[in-house]
Amino acid sequence: MSVWRGQVVVLTGASLGIGAEAARVLAEQGARLVLAARNVERLQGVAALCRIHGADVEVVPCDVTVEADCRALIARTSARFGRIDTLVCNAGQAMWARVEDVTDWSVYERLLRVNYLGAVYCTLAALPHLRASKGRIVAVSSLAGKTGVPMRSGYAAAKAALNGFFDSLRIELMESGVSVTIVCPGFVGTGSRARNVGPDGVELGRSPVDEAAMMPVGECVRQLLDAAEHRDRELVMTARARFAMWLKLLVPSLVDRMASTAMRRGR
């Protein structure tokens, strides 16, 4: 029997990409789902697919940059299901611009609010429920949060903040029974890069890289849920990425060059 059967899972950023695929897989495994995102129409489509698998699903419109929305998300979950077993902080947005080309400086604040503060708000609201259930927190970060990459300075900074927060929280919760798993994917073919913001703060409307050359979203979600199930501390998804993290300790300048090459190739 799946460990997720009957579990109440809150998923932010559930309208597309990793969040939508995770919702579908969890529905197949019998989880009860609360799906949150800004785009209600897309959320309803994801929820409909989950219900085909017999899942009990609550759809909650939520902008994670708004503290009140995050509080309301957790309150709706508690009112509907009476508990929270897992919180997956997946909502995020990236950028694609060289630092010196950025003309709308508010991009940096926006990315910090979406990628970092949104996860903090949801976690603070959910923590009493997760303590009660000895549940799981899954923070979807990025390799960019572990080593800076060109074109993504604001995104990398926000994900580094995310990593620092959840590493600290994990230690504080060490004796509580609540696990904290930080997931650091590389390039994943989510189709969401059209939402990357450019130097003027406007979404690009197209992916700047070849999505077909990336890790399939299904493989990413398989690894994510396996790490969450086993309450792993951290997941770095590929052998090449794990090698790069080790190499950074020894020859950091080489990892800088590797990051530059990877961004040019989009993989």
In a domain, 188, yes or no: yes
In a domain, 247, yes or no: no
In a domain, 255, yes or no: no
In a domain, 261, yes or no: no
Q: What is the pLDDT of residues 111-132, one digit of tens each?
A: 999 999 999 999 999 999 999 9
33-62 mean pLDDT: 97
Q: What is the pLDDT of residues 189-238, one digit of tens each?
A: 666 667 789 999 888 877 666 666 678 999 999 999 999 999 999 999 88
Q: Is it the case that residue 267 has pLDDT exceeding 60?
A: no
Dist CA 225 CA 78 (whole Å): 23
In a domain, 74, yes or no: yes
Dist CA 53 CA 208 (whole Å): 34
In a domain, 117, yes or no: yes
Q: Is it the case that residue 260 has pLDDT exceeding 80?
A: no
The CA distances from residue 265 to 76, 160, 169, in Å, are: 43, 23, 35
In a domain, 267, yes or no: no
Q: What is the pLDDT of residues 133-174, one digit of tens each?
A: 999 999 999 999 998 888 899 999 999 999 999 999 999 999
CATH number at residue 206: 3.40.50.720
pTM attached to this predicted model = 0.91
More confident site: 209 or 74? 74
Is 108 an annotated catalytic residue?
A: no
The pLDDT value given to residue 187: 79
- Catalytic residue of the set 108, 116, 121, 155: 155
237-250 mean pLDDT: 80
Dist CA 132 CA 57 (whole Å): 22
In a domain, 248, yes or no: no
3-state SS, residue 140: strand
The pLDDT value given to residue 266: 54
Q: Can you give the residue range of the structural domain that contains 93?
A: 8-238
The number of distinct structural domains making up the chain is 1
The pLDDT value given to residue 17: 93
